[in-house]
Amino acid sequence: MENNDAEIIRKVLNGQKEAFSEIADKYASLVASIAYSIVNNSETAKDIAQDSLFDAFLKLDKLKDIDKFKSWLCQITKNKAINWVKSNIAKKKALKEVRKQKEKTEKKNTDKEDEMLIAIGKLNEIEREITLLRYYNELSRGETSEFLSISEAAADKRLQRAIKKLKDLLK
């Protein structure tokens, strides 16, 4: 890292927050390139780059070695981009599975399946999401909680509420 970067970071850490704009301007293209190499979408990459620079600004006081700022910023960007991809893949998979199940239901045209999908459609978004992840996408408890960024206990509780509502709706 250039000596100038270390000086700017010290200024920011000493209260001259506006000095961070110099660092942001300098590394904006780099972090956008890193994000783009992972997400393959320029608009998303720009958003991730902006989020990464903002996070770096907010967490600058946690940086242990000022001389490693550039690699630290690159790692923040890489992690954000990877998390975006994971989230996007899981959402697309869930949507694909919902569509697939809907097609199966239409082909079979059984009353129970139609009734179940209608009932799931009546659940609120959180309950519908957990039900689809667990039963249509067949994600494990751990995978479901990781996808939703909640604890397994919280995922179990949401699923219990969803099942109770489904039972009530299907009576």
pLDDT digits (tens, 9 = 90+) for 26-83: 999 999 999 999 998 899 999 999 999 999 999 999 999 988 999 999 999 999 999 9
CA distance 110 to 168: 20
Check residue 1 and give its pLDDT.
Answer: 46
Rounded CA separation 87/81 (Å): 10
At residue 117, the pLDDT reads 80
Instruction: In whole angstroms, give the CA distance from residue 74 to residue 71.
Output: 5
CB 49 within 8 A of CB 35: yes
Give the per-residue pLDDT at 105: 65
Note if the pTM is more than 0.75: no
CATH 1.10.10.10 fits 110-170, yes or no: yes
Q: Which residue ranges does the chain devote to CATH 1.10.10.10?
A: 110-170
Residues of the chain with CATH 1.10.1740.10: 3-85
- DSSP letter assigned to residue 59: T
Other CB atoms within 10 Å distance of the CB of residue 52: 26
- Alpha-carbon distance of 120 to 113, in angstroms, equals 10
Segment of 28-32, 90-94, 104-108 carrying the highest mean pLDDT: 28-32
Q: Is 3-85 assigned to CATH 1.10.268.10?
A: no
Of 165 and 97, more confident: 165
